[in-house]
Amino acid sequence: MRSAFADERPFVANDHPPPKPDGTDLDALNEKYCVVREGRKTRVLTFEPHRRKEHTREVATYLAFEDFRNFHLNRTVRIGEDKKIPLGHWWLKHPDRRQYEGVTFQPGAGQEVDGRLNLWRGWGIEPKKGLWPRMYRHIKEVLADNDVAAANYIFKWVAWAVQHPAERAQAALVFKGKKGTGKGTLGNALCTIFGQHGTHISSAEHLAGRFNGHLRDACLLFADEAYWPGDKGAEGSLKRLVTEPDLFIEAKGRDGITVANMLHIIMASNEDWIVPAGDRRFMPSQSDAERIAARICRRDKVMMLTARRSRSRPWPSFHSYTPDDAA
Please report, for the domain that includes residue 285, its CATH number.
Answer: 3.40.50.300
Taking residues 249-268, report their average pLDDT: 85
Q: Is residue 13 part of a domain?
A: no
Q: What is the pLDDT of residue 239?
A: 79
pLDDT > 90 fraction of the chain, expressed in percent and rounded: 34
Q: Are residues 219 and 155 in the same domain?
A: yes
Residue 327 scores a pLDDT above 70: no
What are the CB-based long-range contacts (under 8 Å, 24+) for 316-320?
316/132, 316/135, 316/158, 316/159, 316/162, 317/129, 317/130, 318/155, 318/156, 318/158, 318/159, 318/162, 318/163, 319/159, 320/159, 320/163
Residue 214 scores a pLDDT above 50: yes
Q: Are residues 234 and 281 in the same domain?
A: yes
Q: Are residues 148 and 296 in the same domain?
A: yes
Q: Are residues 110 and 148 in the same domain?
A: no
Taking residues 26-52, report their average pLDDT: 89
128 against 165, higher pLDDT: 165
Beta carbons within 10 angstroms of residue 140's beta carbon: 19
Could you tell me the residue range of the domain that residue 106 belongs to? 26-118
pLDDT confidence bin for 54, thresholds 50/70/90: low
- Average pLDDT over the chain reads 75
Residue 144 scores a pLDDT above 50: yes
Residues 6+ positions from 35 with CB-CB distance below 8 Å: 42, 43, 44, 45, 92, 97, 98, 99, 100
Residue 1 scores a pLDDT above 60: no
Q: Are residues 202 and 87 in the same domain?
A: no
Q: Could you report the per-residue pLDDT of 39-49, keeping only the tens digit for each?
A: 788 999 999 88
